[in-house]
Amino acid sequence: MKFTEGLTLELKRQFVDDLRKTVVAFANTDGGTIYVGIGDDGEIIGVQNPDGEMLKLTNMIRDAIKPDITLFTSCKTESIEGKIVIKVTIQKGTESPYYLSGKGMRPEGVFIRQGPSSVPATESAIRRMIKETDGDSYETTRSLNQNLTFKAANEEFMDRQVLFGTSQYKTLNLVNADGLYTNLGVLLSDQCAHTIKAAVFEGTDKAVFKDRREFGGSLLRQLNEVYEYISQYNRIRAEFSGLHRVDRRDYPEDALREALLNSLVHRDYAYSASTLLSIFDDRIEFVSIGGLVKGISIEDMMLGVSMTRNEKLARIFYLLKLVEAYGTGVPKMIRSYYDFPVKPKFEVSDNAFKITLPNKNVINKVSDLSEQEQAVINLVEKKMKISRRDVENILQVSQTMSGRILKQLTRKGLIQTVGRGKNTAYIRTK
């Protein structure tokens, strides 16, 4: 009988630790057979202590490879040319990727078969195997990263007096039935790779940056840090009605909270792109990856109908009392602008969802402008800095009239003066 190594056959003169890689590769590919006691040139050598070698092999397969592959392997002795060899048969497993327990679900721990060799799998190949085995549910799919910590999540659960320990990991679906971390576990972990990128712009377009930040780590940490960041720009403006002072924030706090929660709970985490937060003088925009869940229209969403893309993540946020019943976020944002002429705007494409919240104080001021005043505001936003003569030219008015219009806009807090005397100019209020 002639033996030749190939895609489904491996020959070993004796038991060696590298056999683990071969078992993993066969289980991840098309199965195969390992003969111990046959040289790679096909020479029949035999095994001196068959029982001892078989015990080492079965223990190695049981202890060094995850998930458990023992149900898909068999180990027995055969007599070939009067010599005893060990035959190990491995079937293709149903829970790939299989990996070396000491290395994890990374290329250095996952192997596949290429011709007569067992080689490390690429990350894309590992992801493909996970998807084929676990299905399309992002939340319950096994994570490539199994070295996770939950410091931020633990603090949040403690603050809200909700139990959070290893016994809760399974009920919350942070780990699967085999104790492996899921992608949902990654989202709550300190190692979460998804981020929120925030930027503050001068004026009403993206021409000039005032500040930019990127927030990472656990989604619970991002939620707290981003809300605190937004709050710095949610200023209180005072208005007087007779002798009464009325303080009004730029944005209703309920609307900011719900828009931020929406961008975290409903985004599609199968994509690596960051959630985007843009703060302008007159609005805040939240852009998250992933359009509406299939079967839901934007009209349905406005009515409060909800199909949650990340159902288990939403359940955790509900458990922490961060969200109320499903589908209440959008109506709550709209209600917070019930007494305001400009409403929140919702835009959706196949791959993105955008929420725009108008700045109540700025819109209030701008909505009361005359045509001449609006023309001056448009000019200062275009040129960044204007003079009184610029106003005279664009409006074709006298020096006195241009000064009066500029003074009115200054009183309304929409522009401010810089410089003195002949060098006096006007810029948009920050």
Answer whether residue 154 is part of any domain.
no
3-state secondary structure of 219: helix
Q: Do 410 and 342 fall into the same domain? A: no
Answer whether residue 172 is part of any domain.
no
Query: Is it the case that residue 367 has pLDDT exceeding 60?
Result: no
pLDDT band at 187 (very low <50, low <70, confident <90, very high): very high
User: Which of 309, 336, 360 is a domain's end point?
Assistant: 360
Q: Is 149 exposed, middle or buried (0-12, 13-18, 19+ CB in 10 A)?
A: exposed
For the stretch 371-382, pLDDT in tens is 888 889 888 888
Q: Do 249 and 353 fall into the same domain? A: yes
Answer whether residue 85 is part of any domain.
yes
pLDDT band at 131 (very low <50, low <70, confident <90, very high): confident
User: Which of 134, 161, 180 is a domain's end point?
Assistant: 134
Query: Is it the case that residue 278 has pLDDT exceeding 90?
Result: yes
For the stretch 69-124, pLDDT in tens is 998 999 999 999 999 999 999 999 988 999 999 888 889 999 999 999 999 999 99
Query: Is it the case that residue 286 has pLDDT exceeding 90?
Result: yes
Q: Do 314 and 386 fall into the same domain? A: no
Q: Do 355 and 297 fall into the same domain? A: yes
Answer whether residue 218 is part of any domain.
yes
Q: Do 350 and 373 fall into the same domain? A: no
Q: Do 397 and 333 fall into the same domain? A: no
Q: Where are the alpha helices (DSSP H) in 326-422?
A: 329-335, 360-367, 371-383, 388-395, 399-411
Q: How far is CA 141 from the centre of its chain?
A: 14
Query: Is it the case that residue 218 has pLDDT exceeding 80?
Result: yes
148 contact partners, CB below 8 Å, separation of at least 6:
181, 185, 186, 189, 190, 191
User: Which candidate, 341, 251, 236, 348, places its Cα nearest to that of 299?
Assistant: 348
For the stretch 409-422, pLDDT in tens is 887 667 888 888 88
Query: Is it the case that residue 189 has pLDDT exceeding 80?
Result: yes
Q: Do 317 and 294 fall into the same domain? A: yes
Query: Is it the case that residue 55 has pLDDT exceeding 90?
Result: yes
pLDDT score of 241: 55
Answer whether residue 102 is part of any domain.
yes
| 257: containing domain | 196-360
pLDDT score of 250: 92
Phi, psi of 39 (to 5 degrees): -70, 160
Q: Do 269 and 391 fall into the same domain? A: no
- Calpha distance 203→43 (Å, rounded): 80
Query: Is it the case that residue 348 has pLDDT exceeding 90?
Result: no
Residue 66's CATH number: 3.30.950.30
pLDDT score of 365: 58
Answer whether residue 128 is part of any domain.
yes
Please give the DSSP secondary-structure letter assigned to residue 226.
H
Query: Is it the case that residue 366 has pLDDT exceeding 90?
Result: no
Q: Do 21 and 112 fall into the same domain? A: yes
pLDDT score of 421: 84
- Calpha distance 10→20 (Å, rounded): 12
Q: Domain tally for the chain?
A: 3
Residue 395's CATH number: 1.10.10.10
Which of the residue ranges 3-17, 215-229, 273-287, 351-365 would you say has the lowest mean pLDDT? Answer: 351-365
User: Which of 341, 360, 379 is a domain's end point?
Assistant: 360
Answer whether residue 61 is part of any domain.
yes
pLDDT band at 209 (very low <50, low <70, confident <90, very high): very high
pLDDT > 90: percent of the chain: 57
Beta carbons of 346 and 330 less than 8 angstroms apart: yes
Give the chain's mean pLDDT: 89
Residue 268's CATH number: 3.30.565.60
pLDDT band at 368 (very low <50, low <70, confident <90, very high): low
SS3 content of the chain, % helix, strand, coil (to 5): 35, 25, 40
Answer whether residue 221 is part of any domain.
yes
